[in-house]
Amino acid sequence: MNTRCSNLSYRIAKWFCPVLLLFGLLQMPVISAEELRLTSDGRIKRDPVFIDNGDTLVYVVDESSDKMRLMRRNMRDGSTEPFHKNAPKSEFSPAFSANGQYYAFIQSRGNLSLALVIRELQGVKSSEVKPAGGFSGMRSPAISPQGKRVLYCFPEKGSQQIWSVNMEAQDRKALTDGQGIDNWPAYTPDGKTVIFGSTRDGNYEIYSMQSDGKEVKRLTNSPMQDIRPVISHDGKRIAFISQRDGNRELYVMNLDGSGLQRVTRHPDRDDYPAWHPDGKRIALVSERAGRTDLYMVEVSP
């Protein structure tokens, strides 16, 4: 009898424990327990992006009650300084080419009027997509890996499309023409695929398409917003923000939308993800204790 009981217990344990373990693993966040805090001033921030192979983190901070400013953080010593020494008006949404030659950002120009600026990082060449007439503004630039084209978003006729221009801000082409609001385009490293967010099906979801705008595929399906997709430097995974679990949290999935994993679990907001080039870490803007700062979290390979 005892032997039979022991055998039964052993068999239950043998089969049940791995199930429990697997279930537990699925429930666990992908991150390590620690969040590394990168800034501590608590001011409103947004739009982090790594450059210089991860040695520099560029981000945007509310410098004052009426101005957003691009900043650069040296990841080795933690020092920060303005990205542009002289920036009298708000600047935000920085994007950089993979070859380090170009960058782009949005610049406030006048009353509800914002331009897309494209510049050489080291040289003097600069071009811009000027604001259209009336109230208008560009959004969310992304530079192709080869440094040949810049994507950005701009609304016309009530819907917001993804547009493409060359580095001289000429040769404008529409990549999307659907209903709703398209935003946050991002290239894969090979330049063949563009990931973006769109409300074309009702609320914000993540989509992919070829870089010519063809073969649009929906990658997420949640009644709550899925926003700000960014692609890992190896081109295999997408980090994005979703409110599907009640408040904004960081999620990761494969490029085809499979393998969804929740990364952060915090009652406060996590937002604006940026992959570190090593593919193991993601910088993000998080509210903690009423303050908004940059943090870094680890993700599993």
Partner 1 sequence: MLHVGNFRSRTCAGVSRRSFLKLSAGLPLAFSATGLPRVAEAADQGRAKSVILVWLWGAPSHLDLVDPKPKAPQEYRGPFCPIQTKTPGIQFTELLPQLATRTDQFTLVRSMVSSNGGHPGAGTVGLTGYEESPGPVQPNFGAIISKAQQRPGDLPPFFYVGRGIPRDLPRRIKGYGGGTLGPAHDPFLVNCTPLGEVELPGLRLLDGLTPDRIVNRQDLLARIDETRRLTDGSEVANWSRVYQTAYNLLTKPEAVKSFDLTQESESTREQYGYTKFGQSCLLARRLVEAEVPYIQVNWSEYVEAMSPGCDFGWDTHIYNFELLQDRHGPIFDRAFSALLDDLKQRGLLETTLVLAMGEFGRTPKINKRAARDHWPRCYFSMWAGAGIEPGRVIGESDARGEDPVTDPITPLMAGTTVAELCGVTAQQRAEMQVLDGGNVIEELV
Residue 113 CB, nearest approach to partner 1 (Å):
8
| Pairing of β 113-120 and β 136-137 | parallel
- Cβ nearer to partner 1, comparing 62 with 120: 62
Residue 211 CB, nearest approach to partner 1 (Å):
23
DSSP 83-105: SSS---S-EEEEEE-TTSSEEEE
Q: What are phi and psi of 6, to 5 degrees?
A: -60, -45
**One of 72, 269, 276, 281 touching partner 1 (CB under 8 A):** 269
Contact map string, positions 205 to 244, toward partner 1, x by CB under 8 A:
------------------xxx-x---------------x-
Q: Does 43 bind partner 1 (CB under 8 A)?
A: yes
> Distance (Å, rounded) from C-alpha 169 to C-alpha 151?
10
Buried b (16+ CB within 10 A) or exposed e, 130-157: ebeeeeebbbbbbbbbebebbbbbbbee
Residue 134 CB, nearest approach to partner 1 (Å):
8
Contact map string, positions 66 to 105, toward partner 1, x by CB under 8 A:
xx--------------------xxx---------------
**One of 135, 146, 174, 234 touching partner 1 (CB under 8 A):** 135
Order of strands across the sheet with 67-74?
45-51, 56-64, 67-74, 80-82
- Cβ nearer to partner 1, comparing 20 with 112: 112
> Distance (Å, rounded) from C-alpha 293 to C-alpha 285?
6
**One of 180, 185, 229, 273 touching partner 1 (CB under 8 A):** 180
